[in-house]
Amino acid sequence: MRCLYVDLDSTLLGPGGSLLHDGDGGVSLLGARAIEACLRAGVEVVLMSGRRRAQVAEDARLLGQPSFIYEAGSVLVLDGEEIWLTGDLLPGQRTVYEQITDSGAPALLLERYAGRLEYHDPWSRDRDVSHLFRGLVDALEADQVMREAGLGHLRLVDNGVVGRRSEALAGLPQVRGYHLIPASASKAGAVARHLRARGWARQDAFAVGDSREDLDTADLVDRFWLVANAIERDPTLAEALAGRGNVSVTEAGFGPGVYEAVITTLATGRE
């Protein structure tokens, strides 16, 4: 193995974005040990996250890693160079975020799903590309709504269950996070671009995540792992595993689950 692609929130990181706590809030070094195992084995660690550039860049720097993926696959930073995967929407006089605002898509979705969708404050602020929402909507239906409005160059990405909600969403059975991004952007696309840049093949990489967007990278790597808390928080994910022979679910969640995935994969690779 030459590379691990790993999601941050609710995967490598525990509650509050802590590397040193498990899903129950207990102290655990297993997430850090998973990264240590990769680095000792010469495996590059590429963080892939819906977070803003500054946040992911700092985490990658702390791990000593030169490449990372931010805003749900909108941009790949490869050895310090930004590679935009946002199609015709590129930063210029207006940021991609501002161009999406100008399109009217955010206003359309907020009006269509009033009482079911809102900005995911404060994490929705100061973003370069994606509009970050929370609520409970059908992302595929939302995409159809945008296509009918001539906004098919955008898509809404379901990023899984989130813990924060406002009083306006109190009546929803659960609250999920959503990224509104260019249709050409995805974590899978960013992973594919990184593999090509490194000259590596599918069998050279594995990935760990907790969402459907993460799961899409399974087609590009030798082995993909869902951490256990992904299924616990969203049982419908189990249906998405059908026919994916290279996908496994860890027994543990969060950082300990990543450790399980890393140690098992690296040990199997040595056999």
pLDDT at 51: 95
Alpha carbon distance 249, 241 (integer Å): 9
User: What are the CA-CA distances from residue 125 to residues 109, 128, 186 (Å)?
Assistant: 18, 9, 20
pLDDT tens by residue, 126-163: 999 999 999 999 999 999 999 999 999 999 999 888 88
Among left, alpha and beta (phi > 0; psi -120 to 50; other), residue 243 is left
pTM, to two decimals: 0.94
pLDDT at 12: 98
How many Å from the N-terminal Cα to the C-terminal Cα in the chain? 12
pLDDT at 269: 66
H helix or E strand, kind and range, residue 202:
none
pLDDT at 152: 97
* pLDDT bracket for residue 271 (50, 70, 90): very low
pLDDT tens by residue, 188-240: 999 999 999 999 999 999 999 999 999 999 999 999 999 999 999 888 888 88
pLDDT tens by residue, 70-120: 999 999 999 999 999 999 999 999 999 999 999 999 999 999 999 999 999
Cβ partners under 8 Å of residue 160, min gap 6: 10, 176, 177, 210, 211, 212, 230, 233, 234
- Select from 94, 120, 92 the least CA-distant residue to 106: 120
pLDDT tens by residue, 10-44: 999 999 899 999 999 999 999 999 999 999 999 99
pLDDT tens by residue, 45-72: 999 999 999 999 999 999 999 999 999 9
Phi, psi values for residue 78, rounded to 5° = -115, 105
Percent of the chain with pLDDT over 70: 99
User: Check: CATH 3.40.50.1100 for 3-85+186-269?
Assistant: no
Alpha carbon distance 229, 240 (integer Å): 15
The more confidently predicted of residues 269 and 178 is 178
User: Is the CB of residue 207 less than 8 Å from the CB of residue 188?
Assistant: no
